[in-house]
Structure 1
Amino acid sequence: MLLNKTIINFILSLLLLLSFRGIAAPLVTESKIVTISTPKITMVLDYGDKAQITSLIVNGQKVVSNTDGAFTSVKADGVLYSSLHLKGNPVLLQTPAAITLSGIKYGSKDLTISEKWIFIKKEGAIKWRIERTFSKAAKIEETDLPVINFDNINTWEGAYQGYGGLAWFYLFNEKLCTYGVHTRSTNFWNSKNNNGLNITVDAPGKAVAMKYTRTNGDKLAYAVTVADREMLPKSDSGTNRRLFIRKRTDVWAPFDVSTVKSCQSLTFSYFDYNEKYGRGKLAGINGAQVSAVLGTIARIGVIDSLHFGGNSWATPYGPICLHEQYIGQLGLGINDPAYLKGYQSCLDFYRDHAIQPDGRVYSRWAYTNEDAAPGQFNKYGFYEAQWGILIDSNPDFVTNVAELYDMTGNKDWVKSQQLSCEKALEWILKRDGNNNGLVEMMTNSQNQKKSSDWIDIIWASYENAFVNAKLYHALVKWAAIERQLNNPVKAGYYENFAAKLKTSFNKPTSQGGLWDEEKQCYVHWRDKDNTIHGRNMVTPVNFMAIAYGICDDKARTKLILDNIETQMQQEKLFFWPLAMTSYEPAEGKEYQFPFPEYENGDLFLSWGSVAVAAYASYNPALAVKYVKNVLEQYSKDGLAYQRYGRLKQDGRGDDILSGNSLSIVGLYQAVYGVNPLYNRFYLNPHITPELSGTELKYNYRGQRLTIGLNNDGYSVANNKFKIISPRNFGFNATPSQLSYFNGGNEQTALKVTSNKQLTLNIINWSSDKMEWVQSTTTSSAAPLTYRISQLKPNEQYSVSVGDKVVTKGKSDSKGELTVNRAKTPISENISVIHAN
C-alpha cells in the first residue's frame, strides 16, 4: 500500500512539473473500489470520479461486468445526466452496519441532482437505498433509479413481474425493443443454470415502474422509475396506450418532480429457479417442455399489472379479449401466487371500469382504438369490437371470478365481486326472449354480418350454442358461490336457469334445440327464422358441451369424440381445428373461403383445455396424445404463433397467444386432476400408465404440496401431513389439523387434529364402513383426535384398531362422531363401522 502511494505521488509530481513547462498531460485519479458481498451476491462499487456498480455476481455467475454497469440518471430537456459524470468526488463512509456514499452530484448549471447511496447486507440480500433531491422543480423526460446493464440480452431468459406477468426476452427480437410495466418486484431467471435474481423496490407513497430494453450493444438494460404518480405510456393520448415499443427506449411519458427528497430502496436477493418454480418429476412426458410452456407462453397475455388477457404484450395493438373464460384457468397451470394476486387486482379493475351501467361487459381492451366499433369505447381502453357485440364477455367475466376464487379461497374478495357478477349475469339472462333457456344474441340473422362470440368473423346470431355453453358453465359455478355467500334464492334462480338451458341445448334442432341429428354434433347457432347454421362440427362448441357437463349422454359423447378423432387421424393433424369441415360461404367473412382458412378450419391452440377435459374422462390416452403433440410443436417453433394452418400445419399470425399453453393447463387439471377449490385441494386424476410415477410440486395457499400419481393410488402431502387414497379425494391442512374429503364431496369426511407429522392411507370409505391406516415416523404420547362426518345421524358405530373394537359411540344429529386416541403410535389401522 505504501509503495502504491509513493508511485502515485511521484506521478502527480511529474504531471505538475510537466504542466509548469506547458506540456499537456492526461488527468490521473486514484481508483476507488469497494466490494459488497453476501454468500450469493457480490457487488463492486466504483466511486472515483463517478458512482457506479461495475460488477454484479449472482451465485458465482457474473451478470454485470461491462463498462456501463449500473448507475442512476436523469434526462431533462433532451440531455442525459448520470452518476457516471459527477460534479465532484463522492465521499465513502464504511461501518460494520452499512456502506454510505454521499456527495453524488450531477446535472446541469440549472438543475442539479444530489444523491446518497447506502448499502446494507441483511439475511443474504443486499439493500441499496437511494436518496435523491432535485435542486428545483422540473419536468423530467426519463429517470433511472437505477439502470442496470446486464452483460447480454440472454443473461436471463426472462423476468417474472410482481403481479405474475413476464418480460420474456425471447420476444426482444431486435435492438431497442422496450417493454414498460407497473410493478415493484421482478424475478430474473435462467432455467439452464437455475440462477434467479429478485429485485424488489420499496418506495413508500410513490409509484414504481420498470422497463426492459435490448440495447444497441445487445445488452439487457433494466431501469427502475419512481414517481409521485403512476407512470403513463409516452404514446398515451387517450387512444394509444402502448407499453411495448420498437426502435425506441422512451416508453414513459415525461413527468414532474419537486425539490422534496425522495427515498427508495432496491433489495437484491438470490433464488434457485428450480426450487422456486420447479414442477417436480413428470413421468412419461417432457417435464422441461411442460415447465417452459407454463413458465413463458402461459404468461405472455399479462400485459401489465391490471391488464390480463390472452394476446401477447408484443402484439402491435395489444388486445385483451374479455370474452375468454380461461384466463383464470391459466393460473392453475402457471401456479404462481403472484399471478393469482395480480389477476385478482385486474378483475377488480375490470369490475370498476369494464362493466357498463346496464351490466354489459365490454368485450375488449387494446393499446389503441383501431379495433373498436365507432364510438363504442371508454377512456380506460375498453371497447366493443367492430365485428359485433361479443356477448360471451358477460359469462366469461363471471367464470374467471369464480375460478380465481376457487384457487385463492378468498371469500371476502369474491363477495366484493358479487354484485358485479350478478349484474353481468342479469344483463345476459334477460336476453332469453322466448323463455326457452337459450339466450339470444344482438343479431337475429347471419345476413346482418355481425358476430357474437370469440370466433369473431363468423356471423353467429340469435341462439348461439357457443355463448350458451359458456353461460351454462358460468351459471353452475356462480350458483355454488351464491350458496356459500348465504344467498340460496339467487343460487336456485341460476341453477334453474342452467337446467332449462341444458334441456333446450340438448334437444334436436327440429324441436328447437341445438343437437343436429343428421350431422351428429351440436350446431353453432340458430337464426330467428329457425334456419340452422354451423353444422360443421365446430369443435369448441362440442368440446364445451362435454367438458362443462351440458352433454351427459355417454352415447352422444362417444359419437362426437370418436367422429372428431377419426377425421383427425385421416388428416394427420397435430391439434384440433376450430371446425372439422367448412362453414357455408354466407356464414362468415369472405376471405375465410375457400376452406380451410383462418377461423374457418385453422388450428387455434387456445381451445386445448376444454378439448383435453372432454377426452380425459372418456379416453385419457387421446388427451395425452395431443398434449404431447403440442409439446413436440413447442420444441420446433416455441409455439410462437397465433394459430396453425390446416393444410401445412404451419405457424401463422403476428401474435403469440397465451392460450397456446392451454392443452398443458388441461394436462394439469383434467389428466393430473389438479383442482384447487375454495375449501380444499381436490385431486381427480385420469392418468395413463405411462404417466404413473409422476410427482408434482404445486403451490397451494402458501403451502408447497407434493402430489403423487400412480396407477394404484394417489397422494397429496405438505411438509407435515399426507393423505394416500386409491381414488379421487380432497385435501386441506392447517398447522395442527388435516382434513380428508371423500371423492368430489365438498364436505369434510374426516378431520384429524395432531401436532405430529402424520400420514393417512385411506383404505375404504363408504356409508357403512370407513377404514384408514394412520402412520407417523416415531411414536409419541401426543394425543390424536378424529372427527368423522357424513355419518347417519343418531346411529351407533363401532371403532376398531386392527381387529379389536376399542370403543362404540353414537353419531350426533349432524352425522358426526369424535374418536379420541390417547397417544400417537407409529402405525395403526382404524375402522369405523355402522352397527346395523
Structure 2
Amino acid sequence: MPLIKLRNIFTFFFIGTIFCAKPVLADDIKYDLPAKTITISAPDKNLSIVIDYSSGYLIKQLNIKGQNVLSPAGIYTWIKTKDGAFLSNGKAAGIILTKDNGIIKLSGLKYGDGAITVAETWEFRLTGSKIHWNIIRDYSNTTSLEEMAMPQYNFANLSIWKGGILDNGGMVWCKYLKQVNDTYGVHTGGVTFWNAESGNALRISTKTDKGYNIATKYSHSPNNEFTCTQYVTDNPLDQRYNLSRFVSGRADVFAPFQIKKGTVKLEVDLEYIDYFKTYSRGTLPGIDAVAVRELLNTTGRYGVVDNNIIGANGWVSNWKCLHEPFFAQIGMAVDDKNYTKNMASTLDQERDEAVLPSGRVLSRWHNVPGDEIAGTYNAKTGYYEAMWGYTIDSQPDFVINTSEQFDLSGDTKWLRAHQTTCEKALGWLIKRDANHNGIFEMMNNNISEKKASDWLDIVWASYENSFVNAQMYEALTLWANCEKVLGDKEKSTYYAGVAKRLKDAFNKPIAEGGFWSPEKKQYVYWRDDDGSVHGDNLVTPVNFAAIAFGLCDDQQRIAQILDQIEARAVKENLFHWPLCFDSFKQEEVSGGNWPFPRYENGDIFPTWGYLGIRAYANYDKGVALKYINNILKQYKKDGLSSQRYDRVTQTGQGDDILAGISTTITALYRDIYGIRPKWNRMGIEPNLSPSLNGAAFSYTLRDTVYQLKLSVNDYTMSTSSFSIKSKEGFGASKHADVLTFYPGNKDDKGLQVNAGPKKRIQMQINSWKPNAYSWTMTSADSYQFTVSSLQPGINYKVEINNVSKNIKSDSAGNLIIKQQCAAITKFVVTKSA
C-alpha cells in the first residue's frame, strides 16, 4: 500500500475524508490512506501508536521502543447496556478524518442501540514527548449502563508489565490477578505501568471536566490479557459486590451507573517513562537499591486499597487495620506526593466515619461483614470492631499516623481539623486508667474472657497491655508536639506529663506494678486484673517498642534485651524476628496458635520490622543492617507475598498479604539514612555505618527536591537554592531569600541566612555547640546572619576569617551579623569570657 508522509502544507481530498495539514516532521505522523491507519510517534521514538479507522476507531498498536505491548484487541471504547455491548471498533461508515492546527480528529462514529446512542470523537496531537488524546462522547439519552470503557487498554499478557503505580499512591500488581476475570477497581485514572527488567514504562495521565469522576479497573481477561478499563461518570462509582475493590473471577467490579444526556470528555496523555531513571533510589552502597525500589513500589504501595483507604493488608483481601501505626511512615519512604495526599484524605475519612462520638476509634475496615463484633459493622462505610476483641491500639495509632502525616504535609490547617478528634482518641484511653497508676487498661480483664486487645488478635492480652501502652507513649509524645505547633502550650504540657507518668510506671519492675522482669531481663506483655503477669516469653514487638519509642532509655536494659534477642535469632538462623521466641501458655492464646511455634505464637511476622530496626539502630547498626538486607533478599525470592513466615521452614504462609512487611525498609530511610521530614523543614538525622558511605539520592518533600549525600559524619543537603554540609544531623528550610538552619533537626532555630534575591546559598556547619558556633560560607554574596536561641543581652565574640569583634545579643536571644562574603568566609561565635 502507498505510504504518504506529510512534510509541508498541503491538502488532501478523498471519499469520506477531509484532511487539512500544517507542517509536521515526517517521522512524527504517517498516514496510510488506503488502509486508513495513522501512526503517531513521539519525537524521541520511544512511544508510538497506530490508529485504525477502517471500521470505527481502534488503536491497534502501542509501541514502546518499537515493541507493540498490546494484544490484537488493541485499545477501544465501548458501552454495555442490559441488552448488549457496543464497541467503537465495530463496523462503521461515515468516519471523517481531519487535521487542523496540529490536531488530528476522527469524527462521525455512532454506536449503541435504540435506548442509547453514543456519538464519539477522538482527537490526537503531539505535545512534547507525549501523545495527547481526547475522547469526546455525546450521549443521546439519560440511561443506566452496566459497564463502559473510555477507553479499554488490552495488553498482550500479564507479564508485559510488572504492575502499575496509581496516581493515588497505590499500585496494581499484575501477579495478583491470578485467575481469569480477577479484577481490581479503584476511583482514580492515572497510572504508570512498568517493566522491571527492561526499565520501560508507560504513563497514562487522565483529566476530565469539573463535576465528573474517573475510575479504573484492572483485570485478567479470558484471553489472558492484562486489561485497563477507564470510566468517566457523573457520580463516583459504587462497588457491585459489597464494598469490594478486588473481586475474584468477576470482571464487573463496579455497580451499574447512570449517564446523562449530553457531552463528556476525557483527556489522556500517553508518555514513555524511563522507569530506572524516574524511580531511581540513587546510589546506595551496601544496600540493594534495585530491591529497595521494587519493594517500595510494590509491597509498600500495595496497602493502598483505594482513595481514602490506606492500610497495610492490601487490596487483594479488601482489608485495613486501623490498629497499625506505620501508614504515614510508609509514605515517608515511598516518597510520592500522591500517597501523602491520599493518606491525608484517609485520615479525614476515618475521622468522619470511624471515630465514635466518645472518641473510640473503630479498629478495622473490610469489604464484607463477618469479622466483626455483632452489631458493629457499618455496611455503608465498612468500619467495625474486630470479632476477636476490642483492639485498643487503634486509639494511639490514629494519633501516631496523624502526627507523622502532618510532618509530611506541613498543613497546619489540616492538623487543626484533626485536633479535637485526636484529643478525644487520646482522652478515651487516658480515662481507662481506673486505678490511677499511670498505665491504661484494656476493655478485657483477663485471659478467661478469651478476647484480644491489640494487633496480635488471637493472643488474649488483657487489662494492662504493655504493647498498647508503648504505642500510647509514642502517640502522647508526638501529639504534645502537635499541640505546641497549634499554639496550645497548656495541652502540650499536659500530654507530655501524661507520657512521663506512663514512662515511669511502665519501667517499674513487675513486682511494683510495672512491666520490667528483672529475672528474665525483658518487658512482659500484660498483666490481668487479678495481678497475674503474662507474656514473659520474649515477645519482640513489646520489647522493641519499649526501646524504639523511647520508653526504655536504660542502656543496661537495652543491652540485655537486644543481645538476648540477637543470640536467639542467630541460634535458629532466622532471617527476621518472630513475634515471640518462646511459647505462650496454651490458655493465653487461641487454638489456632498451637502447638508452638505456630501463627502468632512464634511465627515470623516482618510487619513489625521497623520497631526492631529502630531499636537496634542506636545500639548495633550491624544487626539492623543485617535484617534490612535479609528482607531485601527475601523480597527478591518471593516478593514478600505472604502474611508471615513459618518459624521452622522460613517459607511464606497465609493468603492475607501484608503491606506492613515493607516497614523494615521504611526504617532504613528513617533510622539509618535519617530521613526526618518536619512540618516546617526538611530534616536528616543519619545513623550510618562505614559500609554505607557514599549514599546519594534525591528526596522530594512538598514539591522541593533535596539532593542528599551521606557518609559517616559527613552529610550534605542541597536544593536548587541552597546547600548545607554538616558533620551532624540538621534540618533546613528556605523561604524567599532566607535560609534557616535547625541544629540536630530540633525545633529551635540555630541560624538564619538572609541573601540577595534569588541567590543560591552554600555553607558548611563546622560545629554547633552551646555558646560555640562555627560555619563557613562558600558562596559569595552580601549576607545577614541571625544566630538564635542565645542568652539575651550577653556579649559574644564574633570571628570572621580570624578577625574578631564583640556583638551583644538582643532581648530575644538573637545575634545579628552583616557581612559581605567575596570569597570563602569562616565565622566563629563564642560567648565572651
Contact 2:389-2:451 within 8 A present in 1 as well: yes
Quick one: which of 743, 762, 768 aligns to 1:759? 762
1:344 match: 344
1:86 Cα deviation from its structure 2 partner: 4.1
Structure 1 runs not aligned, ≥5 long: 5-28
1:277 to 272, 276, 279: 279
User: 1:90 aligns to what?
Assistant: 95
- 2:152 aligned with 1:153, yes or no? no
**Any residues of structure 2 matched to 1:245-644 within 5 Å, and which?**
245-315=247-317, 318-378=318-378, 379-644=380-645
Amino acid of the residue matched to residue 557 of structure 2? R
Residues 63, 150 of structure 1: 8 Å contact kept: no
CA 787–641 in structure 1, closer or farther in 2 if over 3 Å, else same: same
CA distance, structure 2, for counterparts of residue 486 and residue 758 of structure 1: 31
The aligned residue for residue 675 of structure 2 is 674
SS of 2:262's equivalent? coil
1-side partners of 2:174 and 2:3: how far apart?
48
**2:215 & 2:288 partners in 1: Cα distance?**
36
Whole-angstrom CA distance in 2 between matches of 1:210 and 1:536: 48
Determine the C-alpha separation between the residues in 2 that align with 1:196 and 1:794: 61
How far apart are the structure 2 equivalents of 1:724 and 1:176?
Answer: 54
- Backbone CA RMSD of aligned residues: 1.8
Q: Which amino acid aligns with 2:144?
A: K
For residue 198 of structure 2, give the secondary structure of its aligned residue in structure 1. coil
Task: Name the SS of the counterpart of 2:657 in structure 1.
Answer: coil
From the superposition, tell whether residues 31 and 61 of structure 1 become closer, same or farther in structure 2 (CA, over 3 Å): closer
Structure 2: gaps spanning 5 or more residues: 5-32
Deviates more, 1:404-413 or 1:122-131: 122-131
Query: What is the Cα deviation at residue 589 of structure 1?
Result: 0.5
The one-letter code of the counterpart of 1:809 is I
In the aligned structure 2, how far is the partner of 1:97 from the partner of 1:634? 47
Aligned counterparts of 1:522 and 1:361: Cα–Cα separation in 2: 27
Q: Partner residue of 1:44?
A: 50
1:56 maps onto 2:57 in alignment: no
1:542-580 C-alpha deviation (Å, 9 max, x unpaired): 100001011111111111111111111111111111011
How many Å apart are 1:734 and its aligned residue?
Answer: 3.3
Contact conserved, 2:43 with 2:128, CA < 8 A, in 1? no
Return the match for 2:130 from 118, 122, 125. 125
Contact 1:179 1:244 in 2 (8 A): yes
Worse-superposed segment, 682-691 or 354-363? 682-691
Equivalent residue number for residue 801 of structure 2: 802
Answer yes or no: is 1:170 the counterpart of 2:169.
no
Identity percentage over the alignment? 38
Query: Greater shift after overlay, 590-599 or 546-555?
Result: 590-599
Aligned to 2:789: 790
Shift of 1:39: 2.0
The separation in 2 between residues aligned to 1:262 and 1:764, in whole angstroms, is: 62
For residue 610 of structure 1, what is the amino acid of its counterpart? Answer: L
Amino acid at match of 1:284: G
Matches of 1:212 and 1:419, distance apart in 2: 39
Q: Does residue 1:35 correspond to 2:22, yes or no?
A: no
Hey, what's the Cα distance between the residues in 2 that align with 1:388 and 1:106?
55
Alignment map for 1:737-752 (pairs within 5 Å): 737-752=738-753
Contact map agreement 2:718 2:724 (CA 8 A) in 1 = yes
Amino acid at match of 2:661: N
For the residues of structure 1 that align with 2:492 and 2:568, how far apart are their CA atoms? Answer: 41
How far apart, in 1, do the equivalents of 2:108 and 2:762 lie? 61
1:727 and 1:113 map into 2 onto residues whose CA distance is 64
Shift of 1:452: 0.5
| Letter of the 1:161 counterpart | L
What SS does the corresponding residue of 1:35 show, helix, strand or coil?
A: strand
The SS at the match of 1:549 is coil
* 185-194 vs 396-405, which moves further: 185-194
2:825 matches 1:828: yes
Please say if residues 775 and 825 of structure 1, whose CA atoms lie closer than 8 Å, have aligned partners that are also in contact: no
Alpha carbons of 1:166 and 1:2: their partners in 2 closer, same or farther (altered >3 Å)?
A: closer
Deviations 1:122-180 (A, max 9, x none): 34322222221222222211000011112332222211111101111122223322111
- The answer as to whether partners of 1:714 and 1:724 remain within 8 angstroms in 2 is yes
Contact residue 505 and residue 515 of structure 1 kept, 8 A: yes
Q: Is the 8 A contact 1:692 1:709 kept in 2?
A: yes
Are residues 569 and 440 of structure 1, via their aligned partners in 2, closer, same or farther at CA, if it must alter by over 3 Å? same
Identify if the C-alpha distance between structure 1 residues 569 and 141 changes in structure 2 by more than 3 Å, giving closer, same or farther: same
- TM superposition shift of 1:226: 0.7
- Find the counterpart in structure 1 of residue 25 from structure 2: none
In the TM superposition, residue 49 of structure 1 has moved relative to its aligned partner by 2.3
C-alpha separation in 2, matches of 1:188 and 1:576: 34
Alignment of 1:609-758 (within 5 A): 609-734=610-735, 736-754=737-755, 755-758=758-761
Deviation of 1:108 (Å): 2.2
Alpha-carbon separation, structure 2, partners of 1:72 and 1:527:
62
Deviations 1:255-279 (A, max 9, x none): 1122222222222233332333211
- For residue 437 of structure 1, give the secondary structure of its aligned residue in structure 2: coil
Distance apart, 1:30 and its partner CA: 4.3
**Contact 1:188-1:197 within 8 A present in 2 as well:** yes
1:49 touches 1:89 (CA, 8 Å); kept in 2?
Answer: no
Q: Which amino acid aligns with 1:360?
A: R
TM-aligned CA distance change 1:147 to 1:3, over 3 Å: closer
1:737 CA drift (Å): 2.8
**Secondary structure of 1:636's partner?**
helix
Counterpart of 2:133, as a letter, is W
Q: State the SS of the aligned residue for 2:374.
A: strand
**Which amino acid letter does the alignment assign opposite residue 694 of structure 2?**
G
Task: Give the letter aligned to residue 762 of structure 1.
Answer: I
Structure 2 counterpart SS, 1:442: coil
Query: Secondary structure at the residue paired with 1:375?
Result: coil
Give the whole-Å Cα distance in 2 for the aligned partners of 1:246 and 1:686: 45
Distance 1:409 1:683 in 2: 16
Contact 1:78 1:141 in 2 (8 A): no
Moved more, 375-384 or 117-126: 117-126
Matched, 1:190 2:188: no
- Paired residue secondary structure (1:191): coil
After TM superposition, give the deviation of residue 826 of structure 1 in Å. Answer: 4.0
Structure 1 residue 63: Cα displacement: 4.2
SS in structure 2 of the partner of residue 621 of structure 1: helix
Is 2:106 the counterpart of 1:101?
yes
How much does 1:481 deviate?
0.4
How big is each residue's C-alpha offset from its partner over 1:322-341, in whole Å with a ceiling of 9 and x where there is no partner? 00001111111111111101
Q: Does the CA-based 8 Å contact 1:163-1:343 persist in structure 2?
A: no
Change (3 A) 1:275 1:747: farther
| Letter of the 1:35 counterpart | T
**Is contact 1:798-1:834 (8 Å) kept?**
yes
Higher mean alpha-carbon deviation, 562-571 vs 146-155, is at 146-155
Q: Quick one: which of 68, 71, 79 aligns to 1:74?
A: 79
Match of 1:819 in 2: 817
TM (norm. structure 2) is 0.93
Gap change, CA 1:510 and 1:148, over 3 Å in 2: same
Q: Is the 8 A contact 2:674 2:686 kept in 1?
A: yes
> 1:417 is paired with a residue of what secondary structure?
helix
